[in-house]
Structure 1
Amino acid sequence: MTAIRLIHLADLHLGYSGPNNLLVTEAESTQKAGRYLREVDIEHAVQNITAEIVSAQPPVDIVLLAGDIFHKPSPSPRAITCAARMVRKLTSNNIAVVIIDGNHDTSSILHTGSPTTFLSALGAIVVNGSVSRILRDTCWQHITGPKSDKLEKLAIHALPYSALRGQPDFTHVYPIEGYVNVLLTHGRVSNMAELNSLYKMAHTIPVDILNRGWHYAALGDWHIHRYQPLHHVPAYYAGSLEPLTFGEAMNYPLDPKDAYAVHGAIDVRLSREQSAEIYTLANSQARPLLRLKNIDALDMNADALMMAIRECLLAEFPAHALVTLEILNIHPDVWLQLDHAEIATLRQRVRYCSIHPRLQHISTTSSAAAVSEATLDHQWEYFLEQYEPDEEARTWYKEAGLRKIEEAQQLLQSAYAQEGE
């Protein structure tokens, strides 16, 4: 049997907007100026990976999308258009496409249905709702030529998010003898307790399901490329095509072993007789999201801290990079004494630079301005601790609030710099 070439994609999150103040400029694109930069980045990534799949040699036989095609269950017209063009381009080039829903595609309101359903009209096989399906035999009859023979003994066991959440026994989800068996599902393997970088916790995939002898298991939800939750099982997360938040940023200076060093799809070669061969189809044009090494300002005066900030921000970054820097234990008086006009200039060396000052608690004898500057983020965290009992929601609100505070501080600093203060 000639090996089946399968491309495993997941977590596209079409429609994700990113920071509200990060927009495409006229210099970057006259057609897309004013749109959310990260939304456009994701669309470009989907278009580029689709073109690579279509032109790949040897030809790709089938593409699996393991959920979270859309960032929310009511996607924008642009997100829908991008998904439709991707599916149409793949199916018109005689490539089978199978799609399941992830937790972001799944609405809590049952009567709205799934946003992925319409993609079946473009030739994709879409499995959503609360029932799993086994796709084999006549499911591939629309594929012609040599690819048809290769897919003849392929069985895709599609387990969308709602089915994973609603069927606790899964006694029917087993490989079929004589077939190349692939499990396609979306969720967190039961030994993975962490929140993902979007502060969401998906439903768990029981380890028992993964241990049932699959040739390959295509997983969605975790955004780390080629993450293998069980070392003895050929089950992988494809990860996202683009790093979405600074929670997925690469550490800088760069480390090739960084979990977020590569984004893209997984390129799999499958046959009944051999173990799956795993390769990477990388998104080489992914926008760099870089996390600089933290500065601990506990014993620094303003001059020493400015020198440390210069050293960080004068590094050789790609001009289109998005960068984040945390300054820890900074006294509020030191923060106010920094040359914010120079910092604003340094930040312009990259497309976007987020600086998070983690200020010390100070006594009430300090100036009113310093007290306000020092305690705003801490007040927000204290408020959430007191009034939001749900840990997942508290984490999301904390990060969203801190981003808003930081954006407001940047606007004030920019105004002060323009006035020469």
Structure 2
Amino acid sequence: MRLLHTSDWHLGRTFHGHSLLAEQQAVLDAVIDLAVAERVDAVLVSGDLYDRAVPSPETVQTASRVLARLAGAGIPVVVIAGNHDSAPRLGAFTEFLAAGGLHLRTRPADVATPVLLPMADAPEAAAVAVYAIPYLEPELVRDEWALSGRLHHQDVMAAAMDRIRADLAARPRGTRSVVLAHAFVVGAMPGGSERSIAVGGVESVTADVFDGVDYVALGHLHRPQAVTPTIRYPGSPLPYSFSEAGQTKQVLLVELAPGDVLPVVTSRDLPASRRLVTVRGELADLLTRTDLADAWVAAQLTDPVRPVEPMRRLQAVLPHTVNVQWVPEAVPPGPGTAATSGTRAAPDDLTVVEAFLQDCRGSAPIPSEVALLAAAIQSGRVTEAVR
């Protein structure tokens, strides 16, 4: 049995206001090509298919195209709802879609009802039971599962796994097991672009809560990583923040054989997306960096005086500049800001305004500006605003 484990597609996500749908379509086409080339028996999507609860029509169309290609290739897909998804919306037409090989698992009540995938070249009863745990908000399952006390994510995940282990124990001997879950497992490292799943209580769960199953296909964290050899995050297929620059995005190929042998897990790299680059320096120097014309750029400007319209000027040369910060190397203290000991008189209005301009621009007002400010203050036009 060969499974392709992916997660956190976040279809519809924007990057500093720029749509990523075209890039997402391209990388997911590569995932499908890989699934076909590797002759996988199913694709697992461990949550956050969409980036928001109410995706745009264009986003839904992208998801439909991707899933239709997998269906056309005859590859079943198991998808769970993540913390970004709307479980009721994602779970619409669940039973109907399952008949075509798309298994959407969005309801806590279904955690112990696996998707059964028969194993080729194995005894007739041998199968892989894929248990799908959607993102569980502790307070929303309290009554349904008769839980009490102050609930954390550990509590509800343990309750889900108890149900799964009970069902697995009743399955024929030799049944292999896979669990999909959307969670923050202790020991893993976030990538930097995740949204916290804690609404109340502790958001993390321990790895031992998943004891008793062969492989745990995790989602939520965007950095590819292994918590244990059989508990893994593939990460997101694209980088979604500058903190993920340099990461090699991937999916995981999981091979399960009959018997008690450990699954064999190998990573498959995805095509590199547009580079994410953070550059630091004076504006004049950055305007010569034509080698970054194809990259998403976050610029940190070190000019001693705040440049005029830096974003517009940078985008004329580096069209994918999306973030500009002014971080001067050293700004001399403004008027009246020198540290003193003891009690000193409050600064007058002119000193306050001069200090404000110093802080904003990185340089003190020139004498002609000071004269204009003094005249405005004297006339009363500035004093009320300052106070």
Report the TM-score, using the length of structure 2 for normalisation: 0.69
1: CA distance, partners of 2:361 / 2:73: 58
How many pairs were matched up? 314
Overall identity of the aligned pairs, in %: 20
RMSD: 3.6
In the other structure, the counterpart of 1:286 is: 273
Listed as ranges, the matches of 1:21-420 within 5 Å are 22=18, 36=19, 38-54=20-36, 56-57=37-38, 59-106=39-86, 113-118=88-93, 121=97, 122-134=100-112, 136=114, 139-140=116-117, 152-162=126-136, 166=141, 167=156, 169-170=158-159, 171-174=162-165, 176=169, 177-191=173-187, 196-201=192-197, 203-210=203-210, 212-225=211-224, 227-229=225-227, 231=228, 233-250=229-246, 260=247, 262-271=248-257, 272-292=259-279, 305=282, 309=286, 313=289, 316-317=291-292, 319-327=293-301, 334-336=304-306, 344=313, 348-349=317-318, 351-352=320-321, 354-358=323-327, 362-364=333-335, 365=351, 366=354, 368-373=356-361
2: CA distance, partners of 1:99 / 1:51: 19
* Structure with greater Cα Rg: 2
1: CA distance, partners of 2:188 / 2:57: 34
Q: Letter of the aligned partner of 1:82 in structure 2?
A: T
**Structure 1 residues 126 and 343 mapped into 2: Cα distance closer, same or farther (>3 Å)?**
closer
Residue by residue over 1:89-119, the C-alpha shift from the partner in whole angstroms, topping out at 9 and shown as x without a partner, is 2123221211110000146xxxxx2324346
**Structure 1 residues 306 and 127 mapped into 2: Cα distance closer, same or farther (>3 Å)?**
closer
Q: Letter of the aligned partner of 2:92 in structure 1?
A: T
**Structure 1 residues 62 and 200 mapped into 2: Cα distance closer, same or farther (>3 Å)?**
same
2: CA distance, partners of 1:93 / 1:218: 22
Partner of 1:7, secondary structure, is strand
2: CA distance, partners of 1:49 / 1:247: 23
**Structure 1 residues 289 and 53 mapped into 2: Cα distance closer, same or farther (>3 Å)?**
same
Partner of 1:72, secondary structure, is coil
2: CA distance, partners of 1:223 / 1:349: 27
Partner of 2:64, secondary structure, is helix
2: CA distance, partners of 1:150 / 1:240: 36
CA contact 2:177–2:215 (8 Å) conserved in 1:
yes
Partner of 2:268, secondary structure, is strand
2: CA distance, partners of 1:242 / 1:149: 40
Partner of 2:109, secondary structure, is coil
**Structure 1 residues 349 and 264 mapped into 2: Cα distance closer, same or farther (>3 Å)?**
same
Tell me how far 1:339 sits from its aligned partner: 8.6
In the other structure, the counterpart of 1:383 is: none
Residue by residue over 1:5-51, the C-alpha shift from the partner in whole angstroms, topping out at 9 and shown as x without a partner, is 1100100000112222x4xxxxxxxxxxxxx2x23222222233223
Partner of 1:43, secondary structure, is helix
Tell me how far 1:88 sits from its aligned partner: 2.1
Partner of 1:117, secondary structure, is coil
CA contact 1:215–1:275 (8 Å) conserved in 2:
yes
1: CA distance, partners of 2:233 / 2:311: 42
Tell me how far 1:372 sits from its aligned partner: 3.6
2: CA distance, partners of 1:288 / 1:151: 48
**Structure 1 residues 90 and 48 mapped into 2: Cα distance closer, same or farther (>3 Å)?**
same
Tell me how far 1:161 sits from its aligned partner: 0.6
Q: Letter of the aligned partner of 1:189 in structure 2?
A: V
**Structure 1 residues 306 and 118 mapped into 2: Cα distance closer, same or farther (>3 Å)?**
same
1: CA distance, partners of 2:356 / 2:138: 54
Tell me how far 1:183 sits from its aligned partner: 1.3
CA contact 1:14–1:71 (8 Å) conserved in 2:
yes
**Structure 1 residues 82 and 148 mapped into 2: Cα distance closer, same or farther (>3 Å)?**
farther
**Structure 1 residues 356 and 147 mapped into 2: Cα distance closer, same or farther (>3 Å)?**
farther
In the other structure, the counterpart of 2:378 is: none
Show structure 1 runs of 5+ residues with no match. Answer: 23-35, 108-112, 251-259, 296-304, 375-421
Residue by residue over 1:325-355, the C-alpha shift from the partner in whole angstroms, topping out at 9 and shown as x without a partner, is 335xx57xx133x597799358724633533
Partner of 1:217, secondary structure, is strand
CA contact 1:14–1:39 (8 Å) conserved in 2:
yes
Show structure 2 runs of 5+ residues with no match. Answer: 142-155, 336-350, 363-387
Tell me how far 1:214 sits from its aligned partner: 2.6
Report the TM-score, using the length of structure 1 for normalisation: 0.64
Q: Letter of the aligned partner of 1:95 in structure 2?
A: I
